[in-house]
């Protein structure tokens, strides 16, 4: 049976490894964002990037942090205890902490994937107050637009091309209009590069962007944000 001191040391070791795992995972997410653009990346790209970057960085961060703390605080984290070396303990704690972060992290993100998640897919372009529509995931272009509460004027329009669009560098850039204008007719937005037909909680339209993807038009659909 472990003593109270031994139990506390184990818990502290796991917490230290957990801290390193979170830092490592954050580094992996930052790299993925910089290389592929989270907003424009499709699900397969994000999963592959996560496995390639987040998993090793999460584990590496957890183990490295455990080893560092053992060197800095040898009295609290002995280099060897009951036949188990400090390195082996750091690896075990690191694996446990990494599994916790890699399992709980995505669950937390998915559970909170409401309006903010769809805003992310739309490029975080539509943030003004009003009646907002946001496109569903999986489309070649992610669209968002906001109307005034009486739906007589659009407040902002934004879009970002996904990697499946075939637009060169499309997933890295975003376009937004924020000057607003009266609707051409009830439920109808007509702008040079963007048209929308709004029917209740649903909207659809056509988008073109000659600056990013010359010669192409994309159909899109969106729903009223909760």
C-beta of residue 159 within 8 angstroms of C-beta of residue 142: yes
Residue 31: CB atoms within 10 A of its CB come to 15
* Nearest CA among 119, 113, 112 for reference residue 174: 119
Given a contact cutoff of 8 angstroms between Cβ atoms, the answer to whether 158 and 175 are in contact is: yes
Token pair of 160 as six digits: 């970002």
Q: Domain locations in the chain?
A: 4-112, 117-224
The angle formed by the CA atoms of residues 200, 202 and 204, to the nearest 5 degrees, is 125
Environment class of 114 (CB within 10 Å of its CB; exposed 0-12, middle 13-18, buried 19+) = exposed
State the architecture of 117-224 in CATH terms: Beta Barrel (2.40)
The model's confidence at residue 136, banded by pLDDT at 50, 70 and 90, is confident
Instruction: Give 48-81 pLDDT, tens digit per residue.
Output: 666 677 788 888 888 888 888 777 777 666 655 5
pLDDT of residue 37: 45
Query: What pLDDT is attached to residue 112?
Result: 45
Across residues 107-135, what is the average pLDDT? 64
46 pLDDT band (50/70/90 cuts)?
A: low
């Amino acid at each position: 049976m472990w003593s109270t001191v031994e139990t506390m040391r184990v818990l502290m070791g796991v917490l230290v490894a957990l801290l390193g795992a979170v830092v490592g995972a954050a580094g992996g997410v930052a790299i993925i964002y910089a290389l592929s653009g989270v907003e424009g990346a499709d699900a397969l790209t994000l999963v592959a990037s996560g496995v390639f970057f987040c998993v090793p960085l999460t584990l590496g961060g957890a183990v490295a942090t455990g080893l560092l703390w053992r060197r800095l605080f040898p009295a609290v984290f002995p280099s060897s205890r009951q036949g188990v070396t400090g390195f082996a303990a750091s690896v075990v704690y690191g694996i446990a902490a990494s599994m916790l972060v890699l399992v709980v992290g995505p669950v937390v993100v998915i559970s909170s994937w409401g309006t903010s998640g769809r805003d992310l897919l739309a490029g975080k372009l539509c943030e003004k107050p009003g009646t907002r529509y946001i496109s569903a995931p999986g489309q070649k272009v992610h669209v968002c637009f906001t109307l005034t509460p009486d739906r007589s004027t659009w407040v902002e329009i934004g879009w970002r091309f996904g990697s499946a669009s075939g637009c060169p560098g499309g997933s890295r850039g975003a376009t937004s209009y924020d000057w607003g204008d009266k609707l051409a007719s009830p439920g109808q937005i007509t702008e040079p590069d963007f048209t929308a037909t709004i029917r209740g909680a649903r909207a659809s339209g056509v988008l073109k962007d000659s600056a990013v993807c010359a010669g192409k038009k994309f159909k899109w659909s969106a729903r009223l944000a909760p």
